Chain A
């Protein structure tokens, strides 16, 4: 991996949650993320010269213009207009279960939307064409991929308008989208994957079958991972409103095993299919997801 997350201080999700618009959140995350990298994430794919820029540590030494150095005794690197050569599709789960959020700051949906915005911002800056598809049991919103300068605003507006409400059926929209995509590219799935894992995996493999790379961001709340409840409670399903009264102390062990098995299954079977799988805890920084994206993008190119 060219980029490491070790010893980095990222923005805490609770801090991000307090930022104003989604655009501001995305810009703050991405710019901060990029400025902290020791190596530029941008690597030119075009031969069309754009401008000179002062060398900063981490820039490829081969891009230094030695003639300019000879004249001015300063290091400058040559920057080129990058060509868009990747279609990215952000698939955001807006089912009811994504509306769950504990006291850590953001709900899974907010976390996922912020992640989608950040990725969109980053992709747009990289001149990648980025599109957005929101789904619950059906596709509820869809923005085709584009690299136009104003497309990012459209994407952010679309994200702002999304809400959670309905039940989940992850596999169905995956298949629908996979059938519609004709160009190879990258699909980023942001979901809590609380559905039939077999069908979800089958849907994700559908993209693979179509030659599309897939990154799965499995967004879960800390409470869903740790089950820290103490007192006997009535647990109400966010999607079906079904209630189950349970004593956490009695069911905790079984629940943690169930969620662990689910995560492990996704990790194992998606990894075996060449699908990047990233488990995201909503209390962990979003930059980690960006790192994972960049890694996958580099492999896709």
Chain B
């Protein structure tokens, strides 16, 4: 049975049309009447003629009948869309898919060999007659051996598997295994170390109703040291080392800059704890790598890379009337720079609106965001440069204070946002407070439950801001909009209805000013690719091993950027699932397998196009029928 091919049908209902083949039979039986008898004198002369005797004629009629029946059957067959499926695919017996975990948590010495042996043991336990397929998975899954009766093929696929640098993702494993099952009854054997992080928060997977999940546990992680993080600062490099073992240990840590040794350190870490290691002195170079000596633990997490350079601290361009930040934007300048030494702040850069108009858009590409505090002197060229920057994915923060012309801001954001900023200079000052409209918005998430502290800020004056496509994030107690978010192309803009320089309000004097400004700038700048580190699986270049790679800039004209690709540090965590926990995260769905089988069947039928050959054969039969009929009439 295995290896043979079986005929199947995409639309078997059309086979009922083969009943039409009975029509010629019925007609034949109903209209079966003897030939007319003619009394004739010269029968003697017919004797020696090529007389078609009754038997021969009957044979010809039977042939004719068979041809007509065949024609109708072939027609029904063609409409039923036949196709051949392999014996394996059509076997009524079950299928077992071995899903082998190849995440880097199995890269400890001897650990992946054990996993492969367990997988091969699972292959050997498959009942005779059942099919076996192999899937390897980490953050992605591949079907390395489709279900077949050949056990050697499955074992060979397991032997060829290697542990990579990806993190465990059970969802992709089950999805690929279900695909390998092709909707048939079967078992998915997951050979894994049952890491808890393999399920993302709230993640679930679904398999066919007739699919059984079996879990083969490779065992808990061995004592492991890993480099969890590397933070290059201007004056030092800080590495976080994690001890996943059950005992305290002294970890030997090494720093290399551009492949040259740059320092060594030893740190003592308690069981299941982390410790920072600081390598003093500015790291001069392009890329740093921190490694830890851990010959018995997981190997893939023993080294971590980081990109060195100014790109680590995003730059924010502050546009004022004169370009002198110390005079026009004192509070903003210091608030942005706050925390820059720890790598959490911003690098403010000042520029007047007139300078921006003269410089055009080239000066904007290197900045993560633009903070527009004044529109005085912002000519058309400057507006167009700002508009292009925002539409290309840049972030813009507008402080609609006394130096902001609403029409100019409206031009910058274009018709999409349809922003209206109307200052009310003659209006009577009225004290008002700010209240977030949605505390779950990223701008206010940093305040957690303390968002109400923003209400301590007193706003004496404010501009009236509104936009057709804009979302209100915060309002004043006067119900006017205090903070709105406006989309503009690939970027976004946040408009604050007051100034940020202690003129219409006392916001800069409050402790919430710095985190508010940071969150606002970070939020508008988040659409631009300023991330200097990616985990494997998320790397824009598809990199599958750790290292330093170069990626293109996120916006047109942006220079190529060097980024670090590292393993997902969560994979090194030792928390594990129980088999029951694993099983409870899997849902058995009835229709899933059926639809996959239909899709697969349609694809097979499309590849084979047997119906065309059947139709050709039917036409050939019709031609023969016509020929025989003309001789029989």
A32 → chain B closest CB, angstroms: 30
B51 touches A246 (CB 8 A): yes
**Which residue of the partner chain, among B37, B40, B57, contacts A247 with CB atoms under 8 Å?**
B57
Q: Produce 1/0 per residue, A232-246, CB < 8 A to B.
A: 111111111011111
B51 touches A233 (CB 8 A): no
Task: List CB contacts (< 8 Å) of B411-453 with chain A.
Answer: none
B38 touches A236 (CB 8 A): yes
Q: Is A298 an interface residue (CB 8 A)?
A: no
**Which residue of the partner chain, among B34, B39, B46, contacts A251 with CB atoms under 8 Å?**
B46
With a cutoff of 8 Å between Cβ atoms, the chain B residues found around residue A70 in the complex are: none
Q: How far is the CA of A234 from the CA of B633 in the complex (A)?
A: 14
Of the candidates B40, B50, B633, the one having the most CB atoms from chain A within 10 angstroms of its own CB is B40
Q: Is A83 an interface residue (CB 8 A)?
A: no
With a cutoff of 8 Å between Cβ atoms, the chain B residues found around residue A259 in the complex are: 42, 45
Interface size class of B (residues with CB under 8 A): 20 to 34
**Which residue of the partner chain, among B34, B39, B45, B633, contacts A238 with CB atoms under 8 Å?**
B39
Given contacts A245-B52, A258-B49, contact A233 B42 (CB under 8 A): no
B632 → chain A closest CB, angstroms: 7
A262 → chain B closest CB, angstroms: 7
Q: Is B32 an interface residue (CB 8 A)?
A: no
With a cutoff of 8 Å between Cβ atoms, the chain A residues found around residue B35 in the complex are: 231-234, 245
Q: Is A97 an interface residue (CB 8 A)?
A: yes
Q: Is B43 an interface residue (CB 8 A)?
A: yes
Q: Is B128 an interface residue (CB 8 A)?
A: no
**Which residue of the partner chain, among A108, A192, A255, contacts B46 with CB atoms under 8 Å?**
A255
B41 touches A236 (CB 8 A): no
**Which residue of the partner chain, among B40, B51, B54, B632, contacts A236 with CB atoms under 8 Å?**
B40
With a cutoff of 8 Å between Cβ atoms, the chain A residues found around residue B50 in the complex are: 250-251, 254
Q: How far is the CA of A274 from the CA of B367 in the complex (A)?
A: 132
With a cutoff of 8 Å between Cβ atoms, the chain A residues found around residue B37 in the complex are: 233-234, 236, 243
Q: Is B259 an interface residue (CB 8 A)?
A: no
A97 touches B36 (CB 8 A): no
A192 touches B41 (CB 8 A): yes
Q: How far is the CA of A224 from the CA of B36 in the complex (A)?
A: 18
With a cutoff of 8 Å between Cβ atoms, the chain B residues found around residue A242 in the complex are: 43
Q: Please give the number of chain A residues whose Cβ is less than 8 angstroms from any Cβ of chain B in the complex.
A: 36
B38 touches A244 (CB 8 A): no
Of the candidates A96, A99, A233, A240, the one having the most CB atoms from chain B within 10 angstroms of its own CB is A233
With a cutoff of 8 Å between Cβ atoms, the chain A residues found around residue B46 in the complex are: 235, 244, 246, 251, 255
Q: Is A194 an interface residue (CB 8 A)?
A: yes
Task: List CB contacts (< 8 Å) of A260-297 with chain B.
Answer: 262
Closest chain B residue to A96, Cβ basis = B41
Main secondary structure of the interface of A (DSSP, over half): mixed
Given contacts A236-B43, A242-B43, A249-B633, contact A254 B38 (CB under 8 A): no
Q: Is B47 an interface residue (CB 8 A)?
A: yes
Given contacts A245-B53, A249-B633, contact A258 B48 (CB under 8 A): yes
Task: List CB contacts (< 8 Å) of A172-219 with chain B.
Answer: 192, 194
A250 touches B45 (CB 8 A): no
A234 touches B38 (CB 8 A): yes
Q: How far is the CA of A259 from the CA of B40 in the complex (A)?
A: 14
A100 touches B632 (CB 8 A): no
Closest chain A residue to B52, Cβ basis = A247
Q: How far is the CA of A98 from the CA of B45 in the complex (A)?
A: 15
Of the candidates A192, A244, A249, A255, the one having the most CB atoms from chain B within 10 angstroms of its own CB is A244
Q: How far is the CA of A38 from the CA of B206 in the complex (A)?
A: 116
Task: List CB contacts (< 8 Å) of B231-247 with chain A.
Answer: none
A224 touches B38 (CB 8 A): no
Q: Is B584 an interface residue (CB 8 A)?
A: no
Task: List CB contacts (< 8 Å) of B45-69 with chain A.
Answer: 45-54, 57
B49 touches A254 (CB 8 A): yes
Q: How far is the CA of A98 from the CA of B42 in the complex (A)?
A: 10
Q: Is A110 an interface residue (CB 8 A)?
A: no
A128 → chain B closest CB, angstroms: 31
Q: Produce 1/0 per residue, B463-482, CB < 8 A to A.
A: 00000000000000000000
